Structure 1
């Protein structure tokens, strides 16, 4: 198996793993036949093509060019929006495609005012449209210097692979209808401090979204570790224990009634593991009981 095909293989399988969780959360009555059809519909070639397109924008740094159609974060997010719209056209305008933006300034990595723009596509549920399961991937990239917005930072793995997985999930799942809604999101400003995620979270609060779960795809194409070992049959799923917003009373209840392993995040991670075991037998989920490394 060539290195290129290894990347295709892992990207394919990880996109499926996250898509399964979203599907089951939004459509508990999905048949076994539907699940296997969805597995078969995912295309590694399309995922690779999306990654190559994203890499072609040179840099996707949050502070980079926004007016050009061929380079920078602006061109990248407009292409993602166009892809969501094209997918929507193919399914009879089944997706609601829009952007959620906010101005960020006064931070170490964004000292001056910058508009941070997320791209969102929602496949509305037929029975409970305000209940969402969200799959996200960050759009932006950077080099070692987080303030260098000019140098090329192609970000094929970090995080073109994750964003490509989101786009492919939208392509496949848009051909089905579910009880609850599924959101497909491209987040900006991740490398500068998770800014896009904060902006989307505030938007969700303002709009009263009822969010069941968020699955974030980050570097899903990486198959070779720093030790040089290559492994394309294992996927890491990170999950937190104690919630960041846990109150003192909630902490006391948790200590009495259940530990960190009982957290909502870890229950979701175990469900991803179960779905992978059931539908992708050649993919092993490695449970990592902590948050992923910071940007």
Structure 2
């Protein structure tokens, strides 16, 4: 069985308060986009007594393969259901450390695929609960639709929003942004324009109203990321923003807008939303 985990962008991201447990409450809208990895699982015969083998391709993934979120997803369900041994093939196309949720999507899609392949009969609510144990934004990829998120990014409610027909440009520079450092510079506050109110407006009115609080801490540290956003507006973006805590920046354009991709350094993805 093969599936194609997709990325997301954050439409607005306000850090509203610091919690007693040290985490932060926030508000954002997760919006799925057609930038995809490829994930395949087959009943297999891993070497030795191992229950799984992970084969990786595409963009290199640093770290021990056993710590990959797709492996953690398999282990989690294996503890309850004693799953058959599997071969896992993961081809990475979504850049890591980009604020695009690629690893989280892989994990959530792994849970859904195992549920279907081995007829585990888990409901979406149960799958979301498992996904939340893997990461705060993993669960949003279970239903995989435009979603308003509160709390630490784990309290969901659907929103009526379609960006179909817009051209989306995503630029991931060769810059690593530490989420920990990005949070360290944040000053929580209640937004003047809540995300849910702004996204109800036409996209042409989002500029200046729909904000990502991480930009205030990330752009001074990495001016090149801020410059990407400025260049998108120079080229006619209706709205542009950093996604998550970075380092990718996206812009929404009309499909007729001519975009000079050579003005951007790094990975550039030009997508039509539909």
TM-score computed with the length of structure 1 as normaliser:
0.25
TM-score computed with the length of structure 2 as normaliser:
0.26
Higher strand fraction: Structure 1 or Structure 2? 2
Higher helix fraction: Structure 1 or Structure 2? 1
